[in-house]
Amino acid sequence: MKTVAVLDFGGSNLRSVAKALENVAGGVHRVVVSDSAQALRSADRVVFPGQGAIGDCMARLKQLRLDEPLRDSITDKPFLGICLGLQTLMDESEEDGGTQGLGILGGTVVRFADGLTDLSTGERLKIPHMGWNQVIPRIDHPLWSGIVPGARFYFVHSYYVQPRPQLIAGTTSYGVDFASAVASNNIFAVQFHPEKSQSAGLTLLSNFLNWKP
């Protein structure tokens, strides 16, 4: 049986991600929630979920000595980043007074500007961006298989990534058009929460488990 490691760095929402993965694993994949470097290295696939502040996340990874094993795992096996799991892939973030990321993918993380308005209606938008919103695929990718372009996914975030343009796999509009999914070789990472996104989210997770980059 193949193993999917869900990285446990002490953040929230890990169990709901694990449960969603178990729901689509079909008895083929064993889902393990772990803060063990060995678990990351021995797993067939790695999922890095997370909510909260990137400064705390990066500090915890270093405290647990997971930053280097995580870098190694990201480079040599199918990897799915969710929310903070996307943002930490960038070079740096504006959050917490400026935080260095893992630098796996080139780019920065910035905060939604105050006073944003909806591009269609002119309605004032709240920060954080919270709730359902459309994701428009920008590339043909196996993880979009079976998902209707413009399907709605669930978001909770105040910061978003600005990656290199060639990495953008999907975009979403919230006062600005921002990258809500990125892809590079064996890496796919999203700003939204597939584990909270009902059928579209479960389809994406199932696609990830069957993905052969």
Query: Which residue has tokens 């269609």?
Result: 120
Which member of 57, 95, 157, 195 is catalytic?
Answer: 195
Tell me whether residue 123 is one of the annotated catalytic residues.
no
Instruction: For residue 18, give the CATH number of its domain.
Output: 3.40.50.880
Catalytic member of 29, 129, 157, 193 = 193
Which among 29, 57, 83, 129 is annotated as catalytic?
83
Q: Which domain holds residue 174?
A: 2-210
Q: Is 83 a catalytic residue?
A: yes
pLDDT (tens digit per residue) in 126-179: 999 999 999 999 999 999 999 999 999 999 999 999 999 999 999 999 999 999
* Domain count across the chain: 1
The gap from C-alpha 149 to its chain's centroid, in whole angstroms, comes to 19
Alpha carbons 26 and 188: distance in angstroms, whole number: 21
Cβ-based neighbours of 89, under 8 Å, separated by 6 or more: 74, 81, 101, 102, 104, 105, 107, 161, 182, 187, 189
Residue with tokens 């009902």: 198
Q: Is 193 a catalytic residue?
A: yes
- Grouping H, G, I as helix, E, B as strand and the rest as coil, residue 133 is strand
pTM recorded for the entire structure: 0.95
Map residue 148 onto helix, strand or coil.
coil
Q: What is the pLDDT along the chain (213 residues), one digit of tens a residue?
A: 899 999 998 766 788 999 999 999 988 999 999 988 999 999 999 999 988 888 888 888 888 898 888 888 888 899 999 999 999 999 999 998 889 999 999 999 999 999 899 888 889 999 999 999 999 999 999 999 999 999 999 999 999 999 999 999 999 999 999 999 999 999 999 999 999 999 999 999 999 999 999
